[in-house]
Amino acid sequence: MKRIIFLLALTLSTMTAFSQTAADSTNVETVGVAPTYKLYKTQNMWIFIKLNTQTGRMKLVQYSVNDDVDRGEFDLNILNLAIGKDKINGRFTLTPTENKWNYLLLDQIDGDVWQVQWSIEPRNRAVIKIE
């Protein structure tokens, strides 16, 4: 009887171990997939930059805890920087600089770089290719 209980416990623990391994391997496969959109934190606690990693298009995302007036998405760069190029998830990435208003946008395939200056004021926003 003890032997049957031991074998039953061993069988159940083996099945549990295999089911956990299968679930873990599924998660590992999805980790390497680059997202189409990515949010980047700014030094302004209410503003994030939303980057389309395929095209290089960016929006400022502002949230609010008080009212809907201060909440929304605002264009930072409406240009498709991947025109004539492959649209691949993860193609573009943003890197902050020491200046809190500026980031560097990198095309990870071609190596092109843009200076991205964000601001709450539309006239102070800019995306300038660095030659």
* DSSP class per residue in 61-127: EE--SS-GGG-EEEEEE-S-TTTTS---TTSEEEEE-SSTTEEEEEETTT--EEEEE--SSGGG-EE
Can you give the pLDDT at residue 79?
Answer: 92
pLDDT at 28: 36
Q: 16-30: per-residue pLDDT in tens?
A: 444 444 443 333 334
* pTM beyond cutoff 0.95: no
Q: Say which range, 18-27, 48-57, 79-88, 105-114, has the weakest mean pLDDT.
A: 18-27
Question: What confidence score (pLDDT) does residue 119 get?
Answer: 94
Measured CA to CA, the distance from residue 40 to residue 57 in angstroms comes to 13
In this prediction, residue 66 carries a pLDDT of 85
Residue 129 identity (one-letter amino acid):
K
Neighbours of 101 (CB within 10 A): 16
In DSSP terms, 107 is beta-bridged to: 92
Average pLDDT for the chain: 83
Q: Which residue has the higher pLDDT, 13 or 36?
A: 36
- The residues near 50 (Cβ < 8 Å, ≥ 6 apart) are 37, 38, 39, 40, 58, 59, 60, 61, 73
Phi, psi (deg, nearest 5) at residue 95: -130, 125
Q: How many CA atoms lie within 13 A of 72 on its CB side?
A: 8
Give residue 9's pLDDT. 55
For the segment 71-76, the average pLDDT, to the nearest whole number, is 94
Share of the chain above pLDDT 90, in %: 65
- What is the arithmetic mean of pLDDT over 81-99? 94
Map out the domains of the chain as residue ranges.
1-33, 37-130
Taking Cα atoms as reference points, which of 51, 37, 31, 36 lies closest to residue 96?
51
Asked whether residue 109 carries a pLDDT value surpassing 70, the answer given is yes
